[in-house]
Amino acid sequence: MDLHEKVAVVTGSGRGLGLAYAKGLAAAGAAVVVNDVDAATAEAAAKEITDAGGRAVAEVAAVGATEAAEALVGRAVAEFGRLDVMVTNAGVLRDKVLWKMTDDDFDTVVQVHLKGTFTCARAAAVRFREQGEGGRLILVGSPAGQRGNFGQTNYSAAKAGIIGFVRTWAMELARNNVTVNALVPVAATAMTETIPFLAPYVQALRAGEPIPPFIRRALAFGSPEDAAGLVTFLASDASAGITGQAIGIGGDRLSLWTHPVQTVAGYAEGGWSADAIADAWPTIFAAHEQSVGEKLPQPPASPASPASPASPAAS
């Protein structure tokens, strides 16, 4: 992939998956605006890229507000003259079950993930339309948004909403040759270290040990770098025409998610009364009821896999 003509913004790219995306884009030749709310990690990430011969600058901003989004797009244009790729990766967790979740827990997660994706994508779309040469919106979903996850009211709703953005914006921006896709990643990062079942693998990776093949394949859980190739591909001309997709990436697995479709329908002339629904449900609908949550395979017993995955794997 040759991205030398491209300019990208990657939000939340001071560490974790965002850093891997930024490094991957820069290694392919793109100029990158690294962003993080944490100044030290943002500056260190940009330095790591430039030390390796890449082009990068750091823009410290808390993604969510319109001003932050406009600062990011403005910085790309001021430093590198244009914008081609917006990767909306910044994220936080505030996990609690519904009955314990505070308004602040809810608002914080929705502000960074859902509003941050909206404001950054909108600022990028305005710029893409001005330039008139297409563009790439690369959003970030989650298995929790696709399937639901215990303890993640705020996060699963925000991530499901981001896939809703993909479906709508792919239609709205098609005429402008702007593609809109989402990654649904899984990777060993500070975020997944907060999940007890996955923490040992995150710590092992940090200590330089490989992630076991079962975990890489069956759980699709690998390093952040394992997810970076998909961002570089989506940023490149090789992905022209691919839009509206939610693409799973992690460990050894690349996958394509479905969008919801009606699975079964019944018809009653004049409409459905409560009694008619009660009569029809067992015969027409019951067999088609949908499952929720991720069904994870059981890992083989080993010292490195201390517990069976009682709760879903990844954020």
Ligand X SMILES: NC(=O)c1ccc[n+]([C@@H]2O[C@H](COP(=O)([O-])OP(=O)(O)OC[C@H]3O[C@@H](n4cnc5c(N)ncnc54)[C@H](O)[C@@H]3O)[C@@H](O)[C@H]2O)c1
Phi-psi region of 137 (alpha: psi -120 to 50; beta: other; left: phi over 0): beta
312 binds ligand X (CB under 6 A): no
190 binds ligand X (CB under 6 A): yes
Q: How far is the CB of 119 from ligand X (least distance, A)?
A: 11
117 binds ligand X (CB under 6 A): no
Q: Is 155 a catalytic residue?
A: yes
> If you count them, how many residues does the chain have?
315
Cα distance between residue 131 and residue 173, in whole Å:
13
Cα distance between residue 91 and residue 94, in whole Å:
10
Neighbouring CB atoms inside 10 A of 193's CB total: 17
Cα distance between residue 284 and residue 280, in whole Å:
6
153 binds ligand X (CB under 6 A): no
178 binds ligand X (CB under 6 A): no
Neighbouring CB atoms inside 10 A of 172's CB total: 12
Pair 87, 12: CB distance under 8 Å: no
39 binds ligand X (CB under 6 A): no
Q: How far is the CB of 158 from ligand X (least distance, A)?
A: 9
Cα distance between residue 64 and residue 80, in whole Å:
23
Q: Which of 6, 9, 10, 11 binds ligand X (CB under 6 A)?
A: 11
Q: Which of 89, 152, 156, 232 binds ligand X (CB under 6 A)?
A: 89
91 binds ligand X (CB under 6 A): yes
223 binds ligand X (CB under 6 A): no
Q: Which of 7, 16, 124, 247 binds ligand X (CB under 6 A)?
A: 16
Number of shown-chain residues binding ligand X (CB under 6 A): 31
Spell out the alpha helix ranges (H) of 28-152.
39-51, 66-80, 103-109, 116-131, 143-147
Q: Which of 3, 32, 33, 35 binds ligand X (CB under 6 A)?
A: 35
Q: Which residues bind ligand X (CB under 6 A)?
A: 11-12, 14-18, 35-38, 41, 62-64, 89-92, 112, 140, 142, 185-187, 189-192, 314-315
Active site residues: 155
